[in-house]
Amino acid sequence: MKLIKEDLNIDFMGKRKLAAFFSITLMVASIASLVIQGLNFGVDFTGGTLVEVGYAQPVELESIRSALASSEFGEATVQSFGRASDVLIRIAPKQGSNTADISGAILELLQAGDQSVEMRRVEFVGPQVGEELTEDGGLAMLYALLGILIYVALRFQMRFSVGAIAALVHDVVITIGIFSVTQMDFDLTVLAALLAVIGYSLNDTIVVFDRIRENFHKMRKVAPIEVMNTSLNQTLSRTIMTSVTTLLVLTALFLVGGKIIHGFSTALIIGVLIGTYSSIFVASPVTLALGITKEDLMPVEKEGADQESRI
């Protein structure tokens, strides 16, 4: 049983101006939020101390947060780590305090409420390391976009390549913007999710572009806008089914995966939704606006090919 009819004729390109207004509004809001309040970087990027403690029995995180709130560590991040009895505490850098002092003070504070608490692990991430991670993460994203630009240009045509990059930049900016607006923790797992979003969105866009190229060869007397509409309608079923099945897995991760991957699953859920939208309403309209025609996709005929075929 098919959820979507094969003979759909939705005028996607007719709605491209409305979609462009919507996308530009979201991107402007995202960039404005990034400029005004920035991202809430985790310890991975800002540096700081990470303390892992273990309890004899499962413990409520709220009781730990309450104990820390009344001390100098009120802004610490507390989350479960694996089992409910294992807790991870992240503390931002503090002037004049070293790792031993911080971990000792936290252990003493927690043991006041439960003597079974024991120290499992203490790690320190220096500000220099955090700065390098920020720079390397940004470079990794730029390298990925550059590689995609070259790949799509070689496989299809430069106009398609620009359309694909526009969609990917759109997805990344809006996803990061949502993290900026909500001030959710932005750590290495979220950065990894952003790179995964780029891959997912590109895969969806390539499927659409493949069908557009195929239909340009088949529908030679039809205007480019109609070719794109037909192609988008033909791939809509596949696009929606892929998105739905992916979102089912990500929703399960979000609900039962624990707080440690909460940011990762959130970024992917946002990215999949935005990526599905952009493959339809960003990549194709941008390619159309650049003036793609069927002549751009026709193979170049070699000089003398007609004479050789007659011999």
Beta bridge partners of 50: 90, 123
Rg of the chain taking only CA atoms, in angstroms: 25
CA distance 43 to 102: 15
CA distance 233 to 109: 61
Contact of 36 with 42, CB cutoff 8 Å: no
pTM above threshold 0.85: no
Give me the domains of the chain, ranges plus CATH numbers.
13-39+129-297 (1.20.1640.10), 48-125 (3.30.70.3400)
* Closest C-alpha among 80, 87, 162 to residue 118: 87
Contact of 162 with 88, CB cutoff 8 Å: no
- pLDDT tens over the chain, length 311 residues: 444 455 667 888 888 899 999 999 999 999 999 999 888 877 777 777 778 888 878 777 787 788 777 777 767 777 777 677 778 787 776 666 667 777 778 877 787 777 778 887 787 766 555 566 667 777 777 787 787 778 777 777 778 888 888 888 899 999 999 999 988 888 888 888 888 888 888 888 888 888 888 888 887 777 888 888 888 898 888 888 989 999 999 999 888 876 678 889 999 999 999 999 998 899 888 888 887 766 655 554 544 445 444 44
